[in-house]
Amino acid sequence: MLDSFEDLAFRPVKNADPRTLSRAQIDHYNREGYITPLNAFTARETSDARAYFDRLLKAREGDGYALNCYQARAAGIWDLCTHPGILDYVEDLIGPNVICWASHFFCKMPGDPKAVPWHQDAAFWSLAPARTVTVWLAIDDADAGNAAMQFIPRTHDKGALAWEKPDAAGNVLDREIVGWEEMGAPVVNTLRAGQLSLHADMLAHGSAANLSSRRRCGLTIRYCPPEVRITDEVWARGIEAILCRGEDPSGTWRHHQRPEGDDVSAENSPRNLGGN
């Protein structure tokens, strides 16, 4: 199956004077579709982030996939999404006006049999144009042994790739790219806790089941410039955006202030309002 999208063409980043990334790193992003690894948090910040996630995980009774899009409903997630050490990298790719529109903890517990099939993020979203940059912030060390995310380089500028329903049961997603085996050798996104990666929203990526004895948790954060628009009103109901930097002259996004507390209960989930 091949979906029809309004505008999923990759636009190379043009930044002659980056403040945090190097020109070589931006060239790599334009050519390969990702940058990794990047240092983000201090040892203390990393420890605090892990302890905070552990509290949230306990509140959700150990469901490692349930903490989805609470960035405007949990103060600690808000603080992670607006961390200057993250935003400095993102700004070099999308410009001074930075919107966070989604976040999701992906926590593969030891022995987790679920795999994430090869996919393109933007295939699940009702956004145009395709300008979202995804941050994957490592809460735990991630490597090939505990099912780190993997990228297929240079697939981000190929448009929407054909997909099909995966054969295996128990996958996290219900679609998988057709013929991914012929698209080049995957790259393992090896990160130490407190490091992050950046990838374009059309880059093919996935991860295997975590059959190790080590947990693998990361926080994905989705950032875009204000000119990106939501193309489906029903899907938009679950989107609670944060204006992280600059301004939003578009007037099309509903921005939210820092919340009080950390209510991550299922009843307080923005996904109950609709969305993907």
Each residue's pLDDT tens digit, 195-204 = 999 999 999 9
Q: Residue 157 to residues 90, 163, 166, 223: CA-CA distances in angstroms? A: 19, 16, 23, 19
**CATH code for the domain of 126:** 2.60.120.620
pTM: 0.94
Q: Calculate mean pLDDT across residues 219-235.
A: 94
* Domain contains 8: no
Question: Is 220 part of a structural domain of the chain?
Answer: yes
Transcribe 47-75 into DSSP letters.
HHHHHHHHHHHHHTTT-TT--BS-TTTBH
**Domain that residue 165 falls in:** 23-69+103-235
Cβ(88)–Cβ(252) below 8 Å: no
Buried b or exposed e, range 204-232, using 16+ CB within 10 angstroms: bbbbebbebeebbbbbbbbbbbbbbbbee
Which residues fall within 8 angstroms of residue 14, CB to CB, at 6 or more apart?
none
Position 1 scores a pLDDT of 37
Residue 65 lies in a domain: yes
pLDDT value at position 273? 39
How confident is the prediction for the chain on average, in pLDDT? 92
| Amino acid symbol at 68 | N
pLDDT tens-place string over residues 14-53: 999 999 999 999 999 999 999 999 999 999 999 999 999 9
- Residue 269 pLDDT: 87
Q: How many domains does the chain have?
A: 1
Report yes or no on 255 lying in a domain. no
